[in-house]
Structure 1
């Protein structure tokens, strides 16, 4: 007779509110990284701020509790990457995971590399790669690609704010890229290689910033696992960390209560109140973050609100 299997102990989840800056390791999907961190923190509610490919490392802001309401802010924000290109070699996937399609001699100068990078700075059109998570008829493009099926993809407009050469040694080129959301660095690497005439693929990618948050203070999963629960919780930044570069509007206690109920608030300034598309809103206490809003026609209009319970929980954490 088989012995009964021991019952797995249920984890007691808890309400946590904040942002964890995770340094995602190579080979792990964004969702797997999220679930590991969520388990370590015993968090009730969590979400990430946009997929970082398994073959990429670096900054992955994770949102817990009230912070999940602002994950779209990070998703829409500009990003920064360090990308290493293997010059002289193209692959089926545009990165090191694919099969080599062609190998060519690399005979380029730094001036040619700088000119190629400059060609892709500013507003450009990109055709998303087949090996991407974009959906076509409910299925990811990479599923079609693995079956050898090519799907026509419309070009999209993205903005490359800057490309800086960090290192160049023969066939290896490392660049720092600041770009808008939706930019495919793999495609950028292939395009630079095409202009240089030798071809290229992306051999390594590391995200260094997302909006106002950077790798500064980010932690690895291994380091997180080695901490006590209290130490892990201390790493959480407040939900407004994702809105750090937004202008601020502060309300008195009575106005804050009305704002949290969803009512529009009339603002007054002797010189008039300018329209603002994004503003973070606070009550009278220094850490009383209430949510996000916009200002139109002199009115403060709520976009994403914290609940009164969430506001009090954050005030208690700050105390």
Structure 2
């Protein structure tokens, strides 16, 4: 019986996926990558299997700019279960302590106010952070505790959406590197009854909103051309950067790795670069001398055709 190898396609762009419960971010990525038959793909920050919601996926040349979403602020909706702590800090772990819950909504609101602003947070052992090349959760599963340094984070907003008995529903707006599991544990400790994370859903990251995301099931029901139409352009990942538009000659030399003079640049720093016909070229940097230096460029057939014509 003949077996045909699926042809992988050199597609580029960004897909907003609504990740399902119970699968890792990498599993979700591989499922969508196979669906698109994409040559190259990557995600923009882990969501635990417990968590659902917004997971932007990058294909092809867009993977060069995924770091800008890894560093972006995020918004989550979380359900926190009071009265019990677990080995993992969430509902999937084993219960290690229990305590009666006797707190008022006023007490809850006061404690939540204490968890806004800049603070330090120690990453959990059950996380994908690496120590000597291995994820921390591999040590945790072996019963080994690794010392972790506290990291600076910021909770911009922490709103109580609902309080019912021993459960809190909250919306959290936070900086990169924030672990909502740890936040849930810390809130429980402050309330004196312990807590763990029961459910988590990411609703926003880096200006992208869950309302525009698609589930795997929705993607599977589409025709290939419909799926391709769902891809956002790579420059959506750097939307917040200043834009610099280069003429054909300047764009050509930047693509060759050379700095070019660009008048009327009042500040230094990263910029997104565009060539003729507003073709996205990648990232550049305005130097102290006022020149545009290439930093991270993309290579596409459209770019090449535009510059060579």
For residues 236-251 of structure 1, the aligned pairs below 5 Å read 236-251=231-246
Map of 1:225 onto structure 2: 220
Map of 2:34 onto structure 1: 39
Map of 2:272 onto structure 1: 280
- Name the CA shift for 1:41/1:111 in 2 (closer, same or farther; >3 Å): same
Q: Find the residue that maps to 2:211 and give its secondary structure.
A: coil
Q: CA deviation at 1:116?
A: 1.6
* 1:295 maps to 2:286: yes
Comparing 232-241 and 149-158, the one that deviates more: 149-158
For residues 114-129 of structure 1, the aligned pairs below 5 Å read 114-129=109-124
RMSD, matched Cα: 1.8
* 1:24 maps to 2:19: yes
Map of 1:206 onto structure 2: 201
> Residue deviations 1:149-189, cap 9 Å, x none?
21111111111121111222111111111111111110011
* 1:183 maps to 2:178: yes
* 1:93 maps to 2:88: yes
Alignment partners' CA distance in 1, 2:302 and 2:117: 41
Alignment partners' CA distance in 2, 1:54 and 1:136: 21
Contact 1:267 1:273 in 2 (8 A): no
With structure 1 as the length reference, what TM-score do the two structures score?
A: 0.91
- Name the CA shift for 1:198/1:247 in 2 (closer, same or farther; >3 Å): same
- Name the CA shift for 1:208/1:249 in 2 (closer, same or farther; >3 Å): same
Q: CA deviation at 1:267?
A: 2.4
For residues 163-182 of structure 1, the aligned pairs below 5 Å read 163-182=158-177
Q: CA deviation at 1:310?
A: 5.6
- Name the CA shift for 1:179/1:313 in 2 (closer, same or farther; >3 Å): farther
Q: CA deviation at 1:137?
A: 1.9
Map of 2:298 onto structure 1: 306
Contact 2:276 2:306 in 1 (8 A): no
Map of 2:56 onto structure 1: 61
Q: CA deviation at 1:7?
A: 4.4
Structure 1: 4+ residue segments shifted above 4 A: 312-315
- Name the CA shift for 1:149/1:53 in 2 (closer, same or farther; >3 Å): same
Q: Find the residue that maps to 1:59 and give its secondary structure.
A: strand
> Residue deviations 1:209-236, cap 9 Å, x none?
1212121211001111111111110100
- Name the CA shift for 1:61/1:313 in 2 (closer, same or farther; >3 Å): farther
- Name the CA shift for 1:153/1:191 in 2 (closer, same or farther; >3 Å): same
Q: Find the residue that maps to 1:259 and give its secondary structure.
A: helix
Q: CA deviation at 1:110?
A: 2.5
Q: CA deviation at 1:129?
A: 0.7
Map of 1:77 onto structure 2: 72
Aligned length, in residue pairs: 306
Contact 1:260 1:308 in 2 (8 A): no
Map of 2:249 onto structure 1: 254
Unaligned ranges ≥5, structure 1: 1-5
